[in-house]
Structure 1
Amino acid sequence: MRSIEVLNNGWTFVKDATDAAAAALAAQRGAGTAVQLPHTWNAEDGADGGNDYYRGTCWYVRKLALPELTAGEEAWLEFDGVAMSARVYVNGVPLAEHEGGFSTFRVDVTSAIEQARAAGADAVTIVVSVDNSSNDRVYPQYADFTFYGGIYRDVKLVIVPATHIALGYHGAPGVRVTPEVALGGGEAPATAVVTVDAWVEGSATEATLSIAGEADGEQRTWKTTVPVEAGHAQAVFHISAARLWDGVVDPYLYTATVSLPEGDQVSVRFGCRSYEIDPGRGFILNGRPYPLRGVSRHQDRAGVGSAITPEMMAEDVAIIREMGANTIRLAHYQHAQAFYDLCDEAGICVWAEIPLITMHLPNGDDNARSQMRELVLQNYNHPSIVVWGLSNEITAASTVNDELLQLHRDLNDLCHELDATRPTTMANVFMLDTASPILEIPDVNSYNLYFGWYVGEMSEADEFFDTYHATYPDRAIGFSEYGADANPAFHSDAPQAGDYTEEFQCLYHEHMLKMIDERPWLWATHVWNMFDFAADGREEGGKDGQNQKGLVTFDRAIKKDAFYLYKAAWSDEPVLHVCGSRYTDRPSETTEVKVYTNQSAVELFVDGERLDGKAGGHVLTFEVPLGAVGSEHVVEARAGELSDRITLRRVAEPNPAYSLGAAAPVDNWFDEIVIDPSCYSIKDTLDEIRRSPEAGAVLDRIMAEGASSRGDVATSVKDNPDLQRMLGKMTLESLFKRGGGSTDQLKGINEVLQRFKKVEA
């Protein structure tokens, strides 16, 4: 029988050692730190800003008592996630290397255990070197998130009979299930043809394959014994009235089991579903339109980094489902098997991808192919996964040349070779020309657009998709990233891009939600991001080391107001939320109070007195008088038995704690000075300023400094010609507001530009 023991206890972490022997000796002498897995050494410094978190080689050491191996049994170590490159030693002997920080790999340690027992030992020493240092061959290397180092997922000891279901094939489970569903017409039930494949290592001659689940409303088991030929067994089962995996409506799962006479057995779950992605109708699940509307997710969280627990994963899924999302883009790498399981159970449709991101590494092509092979093979059985993602924003800092195109063709072909049932996709950077040949490679496409935040105006997202859809009516297109940073401490009565207020984040998502609702042909949309996440190179928005585009904070403690906008639009639960609970001190005589709801009508009360009532739509706004300075008011929304309230206080001056000190006063100071229109000012576009070599040089210095404050990704993409073309149309004032600079800085820049006479076009 197969036995599995989790080896998360008893590890020693050694930060500095010259080799495996030195690491083992340090652990023996007590020089290391006792740790329990999952563990990362970047839990703190990976999210505190400065882009200086530790990247290098560290060591993990553990004693393993010799297991009893009988009748030719084998022992394997299974590592669920070691970031980013790993080398495994047993008793000083190197047994395996693995490059790629997000997938499962296994190491056969049978011989090492037998040799130790023959030498009279009662234990072996496991040493794992773990390296997250910068290199040119292992993805990711350039991206807007922290590359945590560590053994941050489980390690297991797996003992199997000599003849067993394969353990040595790219970390895959050894069992593959392929359901093909035929939908019934009218009231006729769906039928499914389910092919179960198993791969066997050893001398097996036969295997018993079975599936269990519901048909015609009853629990059934289908079973057959088939020969094993060349290490492979296959059986085909017919389910005449299958219960479908039907997204969040009914995420029903069947179980397939493979058993060998020698005693090994493996079970996997799967779902029977039919889907297609149509350029005009969007995502179709089990024969009906099923718009995929959801979020992206990074796996880390405050205080623990990437070393998250199953309970934390379950909490993430619960929050996502509370909001009503039915899809998750699992960015930008393979996530834990436990999380895919949770998505299967919750009915969430998943975009799964590899970390081929931002910049092409010519020496990393083999690694990209390896990570894709592992992603597909290890996750094939999950019904939640509906697309394989080839890359993310890979043209941000790379030219679309023959090498990049060929790599994507290879990855696309590899996906279809390993899995003929799922389409491929890409997340394309917003400045990529829609005529680029790279868009012709995957089956469907999506774009990451940040109009209204980084560049341009929100309405440009509407224009982009309408133009794309009209130009390429036979191509399916999705919205793979969109978002605006918000620090829940920052607030404004006059929100604008770059102020990091909750209020601007709300305005941004209100626009994008409306835009999405009006375009049902968008096959999938994913908010960037569900949760704030670590990006140690960022120094902005009042929280260094974080990307704050999340609808929920990094510690999962605060659901920002925009969270409730989506909950009102997507959830079936009754929703009534008054925005602005963290914006208590307000300087105006009258203030806007916004309510997000899915109720038919809402009444607003101030200090118990009815102020107004409104109906229709998910976003309702009310003008609330605040009275004299120092007065405090309870503002309450009611809809039937639902109610929600906030407290507001009238103050004489804006509370400085609510502002980054950036954008709000910027326009006002122009009333106090005179700008010479014959000279450059921040009111001019970047293209206009660059007509002057002297003024252009000043601008280039400003842009370089701004890029450096947003981490190495911003620095690496700043020379992208498509990005420069977009930025060139913006005024320096508009761009500066979005960068979070101060009024004094803006004044100083304007004074410098006023020294240079304008050059005629």
Structure 2
Amino acid sequence: MKRVKLVFLLGLLVCSQYVFAQNKQRLTHNWEYLKGDLGGIWEAIRPVKEGNPESVPLWEKVNLPHCFNALDGVDPDVNYYQGPGWYRTLLDLKNPYTEGRSLLHFEGAGQKTQVYIYDKKVAEHVGGYDEWTADITDAVNAFKKTDVFQKQFKGKVPLSIRCDNSRDLEMIPSSLSDFNVYGGLYRYLNLVYTPKVAVDKIFAAASVDAKGSLGKLNISGRLLNPEGIDTVSLKIEVKDPEGKTLGSWENQMKAFNGDKALWETSIKSPRLWSPERPVLYTVQTTVTARGIAHVHTEKIGFRNFEFVKKGPFMLNGKRLLLRGTHRHEDHAGVAAAMTEEMIRQEMQMMKDMGVNFIRLGHYQQSRIVLDLCDSLGILVWEEIPWCRGGLGGEVYKEQGRRMLTNMIEQHYNHASVIIWGLGNENDWPGDFNEFDEQKIRTFMKELNDLSHKLDPSRKTAIRRCDFCKDIVDVYSPSIWAGWYRGIYTEYKEASKKEFERVEHFLHVEWGGDSHAGRHSESPDKALSAVQTGVGTDERDGDASLFGGSARVSKDGDWSESYIVNLIDWHLKEQENMPWLTGAAYWPFKDFSTPVRPDNPVPYMNQKGVVERDFSKKEAYYVFQSYWTKTPMVHIYGHSWPVRWGDAGEQKMVKVYSNCAEAELFLNGKSMGKKKRNSQSYPAAGLKWMVKYQPGKNEIKVVATTKDGKTISDEIVQEYQTEKWDKPAKLVLEKLSEKDNIAVIQVKLLDKNNILCLDARSYITFGLTGDGKLIDDQGTSSGSRKVQLYNGRALISVDLNKGKSVASVKSDGLPSAFVEL
């Protein structure tokens, strides 16, 4: 498959997918940050004397990646900051190449960025999610000729960067989007040295027939050659997963501008890439000019995929049910500035849950994520951030074209990518006084054509814009059975109806919110008030907790108990939908959002199966029980310390496992064995009705695999039979202390000191003294304002080796205190 030459892209300054392997370093340390703007670039570089109290403004020391909104994105008392911020550092440049180039490679920065060497602006970029490169060579060379280079800066080069995430209606994405539009250098920034001529990009189109008998590889490239050197030598080698060279091509030629087709080759019976065996080959390209070589490496995979018309998804000639989730770039304490270690942990947790597909919502994500999808075996739908708000003018549309082009070019070689997403919820107005469906259709068609021109091998898709569903290759409608509309038992019927309306159907976004640590003895109670037969699509305003018709998202208890039931039903049904391509749960991890201030954790979308700090909710194990093969067993209720009911009342204990059989023990006595049957709801038949004893109860399960191996799980739960009256008082206590970190808990009691287990009041923690609350984390146990879960809430305190007094308050109740 030949790469289409894109004449209009000549001159675009974007970096290669794998930046030049030699002489690349991450610029992580020795940075200073200033929130707000400067009067001019001189304020960033003027001499500052140590300890001068009249030096303004004051900068703080930070490491990269860094996000403006690391904490305020989930601060319950303020709108998150949207505006400019500055970073500065000194570069110690040591380019090993004679007359080589020095580049700054940005893996992503939000949302508008300007780059200065000393007082000269050398580059700027609009867009928070695509990669880009600033060539600082000429500016550095000019600065080195000045007196201040040695006298003031001691041979180092001052670098200043201005980032800006101010609200701008002509920017993508819209601030109406259900996620924060973060600011800062929140992805890695790299210093890269290259010789005069280097490889800018290699496009390696790997294809194979469905039987896997013949793999084809068409390679084209683009050079970085700003000085116009006219003759180069190129060598390309293809290596198998063990590093053995399978074929090579070498040629001396005139240096070229733009894209050039270089080599076509074939590989007999290549080892196929799949989620079970993510086999990767290597394409190594060496360009040599004037005796200096530059090596560029790409990883590729051979796989054949097909969305069958009115049918399932096929990978390498066999049906594969896409078992998916979603990812936002967001984490407790750092917001978008996730380190590589954090990203790696997150993606591994997804794989361990059984995921084989991910939609990266709603923007191009880090190269680290895509590399991990390749190596772990996770198929990808990646999309541009044209999300909500409508359609802006020509500046807006040009950004959309540029974002799509950069996303495809930068992630073109990833074996994991099968879909380029063109938009999300583009039927959602609000940013402009005009909302013209025909104009949106026209632009969507333009993006669709551009995507296919740039990359004919992948499919295009959008989610929730019915008036554009005929334009793209794959369409995902809005189906939120049991949350925003309808009940979850309507899921299969609603999906089949939508499946029949398009040629290629894929269901992304389903699920519901759960407040971690909140559990219920009657989780499905709200379903009785929900109207059925009126559809399961979400509509504008459905995220609101006020007004409108009855719906679980507004009237339910937001318990983990309800969400595991909803997920369990969906996964059970998906096993018996042979026409289904797949579905993706929304999302994997809780994330922050400006449009949900009234949620149990304010400003958090709480639909994740893990919390914002990677703490697993109970739902994680439901997915594992359906999607994984490594033996696992989990009793529901690890975060449910106290159950309640009448003495002698039968209670259901659910076990989630992928094993063939399980035996439950209550207080040492066997409750019998059950065989797993995925169609026996709930918990695939691994459910027992038992009678708890008042007080402490020990629950244990022993699961047996088909080959006779056993694994076990156990928990301890209290059983409360006392009935509580209306809430009367708060009690605050220290639960534990380790490494100078104390965990404190508030309980809500009635007048008789009985725990009010259904209490959902908002409480607010406070602290005075030497310590500091560990809050603004966006988690149920890391937020100073939070709804109670079963009459309690926790938070941690950094004692700072001193003394403090913690407080807690709630409307209508006396405040409580504890000395720490």
In which range does the TM-score fall when normalised by the shorter chain?
Answer: 0.7 to 0.9
Q: Does 1:465 align with 2:495?
A: yes
Q: Does 1:135 align with 2:168?
A: yes
Show the counterpart of 1:755.
none
Q: Which amino acid aligns with 2:74?
A: A
Contact 1:213–1:220 under 8 Å retained in 2 = yes
Q: Deviations over 1:10-58 (max 9, x none)?
A: 2110113223222334977582011110001211111233560111011
Unaligned runs of 5+ in 1: 167-173, 663-743, 745-761
Contact 2:208–2:214 under 8 Å retained in 1 = yes
Q: 1:576 aligns with which of 613, 633, 646?
A: 633
Contact 2:662–2:686 under 8 Å retained in 1 = no
Show the counterpart of 1:268.
298
Q: Superposed, which structure 2 residues align to 1:248-287 within 5 Å?
A: 248-262=275-289, 263-287=293-317
Show the counterpart of 2:654.
594
TM-score (norm 1): 0.80
Show the counterpart of 2:453.
417
Deviation at 1:267? 1.1
Q: Kindly tell me: are residues 626 and 104 of structure 1, through their superposed partners in 2, closer, same or farther at Cα, counting changes over 3 Å? A: same
Deviation at 1:98? 0.8
Contact 2:65–2:185 under 8 Å retained in 1 = yes
Q: Superposed, which structure 2 residues align to 1:469-618 within 5 Å?
A: 469-472=499-502, 475-496=503-524, 497=552, 498-557=556-615, 559-588=616-645, 589-618=649-678
Q: Kindly tell me: are residues 87 and 217 of structure 1, through their superposed partners in 2, closer, same or farther at Cα, counting changes over 3 Å? A: closer
TM-score (norm 2): 0.75
Q: Does 1:653 align with 2:744?
A: no
Matched residue of 1:506: which SS? helix
Q: 1:14 aligns with which of 2, 16, 34?
A: 34
Q: Which amino acid aligns with 2:234?
A: T
Q: Which amino acid aligns with 1:488?
A: A
How many angstroms apart in 1 are the aligned matches of 2:48 and 2:365? 30
Show the counterpart of 2:472.
442
Matched residue of 1:328: which SS? strand
Matched residue of 2:116: which SS? strand
Q: Does 1:83 align with 2:110?
A: yes
Q: Does 1:57 align with 2:84?
A: yes
Show the counterpart of 1:197.
220
The sequence identity of aligned pairs, in percent, is 27
Q: 1:641 aligns with which of 710, 714, 718?
A: 710
How many angstroms apart in 2 are the aligned matches of 1:289 and 1:180? 18
Q: Which amino acid aligns with 2:569?
A: H
Q: 1:23 aligns with which of 44, 59, 76?
A: 44
Show the counterpart of 2:748.
none
Q: Kindly tell me: are residues 368 and 215 of structure 1, through their superposed partners in 2, closer, same or farther at Cα, counting changes over 3 Å? A: closer
Contact 1:243–1:252 under 8 Å retained in 2 = no
Deviation at 1:507? 1.1
Deviation at 1:400? 5.5
Show the counterpart of 1:163.
197
Q: Kindly tell me: are residues 240 and 621 of structure 1, through their superposed partners in 2, closer, same or farther at Cα, counting changes over 3 Å? A: closer
How many angstroms apart in 2 are the aligned matches of 1:627 and 1:420? 61
Matched residue of 1:560: which SS? coil
Q: 1:310 aligns with which of 340, 358, 364?
A: 340
Contact 1:626–1:650 under 8 Å retained in 2 = no
Q: Does 1:408 align with 2:444?
A: yes
How many angstroms apart in 2 are the aligned matches of 1:644 and 1:54? 45
Deviation at 1:628? 4.7
Q: 2:403 aligns with which of 371, 379, 386?
A: 371
Show the counterpart of 2:780.
none
Matched residue of 1:98: which SS? strand
How many angstroms apart in 2 are the aligned matches of 1:27 and 1:405? 55
Q: Superposed, which structure 2 residues align to 1:62-73 within 5 Å?
A: 62-68=89-95, 71-73=98-100
Deviation at 1:270? 0.9
Deviation at 1:524? 3.0
Show the counterpart of 2:15.
none
Show the counterpart of 2:205.
178
How many angstroms apart in 2 are the aligned matches of 1:414 and 1:136? 24
Q: Which amino acid aligns with 2:183?
A: G
Deviation at 1:447? 2.3
Deviation at 1:408? 0.6
Show the counterpart of 1:145.
179
Matched residue of 1:504: which SS? helix
Compare 577-586 and 69-78 and name the one that shifted more: 69-78
Show the counterpart of 1:734.
none
Show the counterpart of 1:171.
none
Compare 312-321 and 115-124 and name the one that shifted more: 115-124
Show the counterpart of 1:325.
355
Q: Does 1:125 align with 2:158?
A: yes
Compare 354-363 and 512-521 and name the one that shifted more: 512-521
How many angstroms apart in 1 are the aligned matches of 2:261 and 2:341? 36
Contact 1:50–1:545 under 8 Å retained in 2 = no
Q: Deviations over 1:468-520 (max 9, x none)?
A: 23344xx1111110011111221111013321111100111112212322223
How many angstroms apart in 2 are the aligned matches of 1:614 and 1:89? 67
Show the counterpart of 1:630.
695
How many angstroms apart in 1 are the aligned matches of 2:578 and 2:142? 63
Q: Kindly tell me: are residues 277 and 612 of structure 1, through their superposed partners in 2, closer, same or farther at Cα, counting changes over 3 Å? A: same
How many angstroms apart in 2 are the aligned matches of 1:218 and 1:80? 31
Across the aligned residues of Structure 1 and Structure 2, the Cα RMSD in angstroms comes to 2.5
Q: Deviations over 1:236-272 (max 9, x none)?
A: 3433324334222211111112212222221111111
Q: Kindly tell me: are residues 26 and 83 of structure 1, through their superposed partners in 2, closer, same or farther at Cα, counting changes over 3 Å? A: farther
Q: Kindly tell me: are residues 606 and 81 of structure 1, through their superposed partners in 2, closer, same or farther at Cα, counting changes over 3 Å? A: same
Deviation at 1:630? 2.8
How many angstroms apart in 1 are the aligned matches of 2:47 and 2:457? 50
Q: Kindly tell me: are residues 27 and 549 of structure 1, through their superposed partners in 2, closer, same or farther at Cα, counting changes over 3 Å? A: farther
Q: Deviations over 1:525-569 (max 9, x none)?
A: 110011111124423442112111001111002x22221111111
How many angstroms apart in 2 are the aligned matches of 1:49 and 1:447? 33
Q: Kindly tell me: are residues 47 and 164 of structure 1, through their superposed partners in 2, closer, same or farther at Cα, counting changes over 3 Å? A: same
Q: Kindly tell me: are residues 50 and 215 of structure 1, through their superposed partners in 2, closer, same or farther at Cα, counting changes over 3 Å? A: closer
Matched residue of 2:39: which SS? coil
How many angstroms apart in 1 are the aligned matches of 2:599 and 2:296? 49
Q: Which amino acid aligns with 1:358?
A: R
How many angstroms apart in 2 are the aligned matches of 1:523 and 1:641? 34
Show the counterpart of 1:456.
486
Q: Kindly tell me: are residues 217 and 35 of structure 1, through their superposed partners in 2, closer, same or farther at Cα, counting changes over 3 Å? A: closer
Q: Kindly tell me: are residues 10 and 296 of structure 1, through their superposed partners in 2, closer, same or farther at Cα, counting changes over 3 Å? A: same
How many angstroms apart in 1 are the aligned matches of 2:651 and 2:558? 19
How many angstroms apart in 1 are the aligned matches of 2:659 and 2:24? 50
Q: Deviations over 1:351-391 (max 9, x none)?
A: 10011112124132111111111111111011111100000
Show the counterpart of 2:246.
220
Q: Which amino acid aligns with 2:644?
A: P
Q: Deviations over 1:136-185 (max 9, x none)?
A: 1111122111222110111122221222223xxxxxxx11101121344x
Higher helix share: 1
Compare 228-237 and 516-525 and name the one that shifted more: 228-237
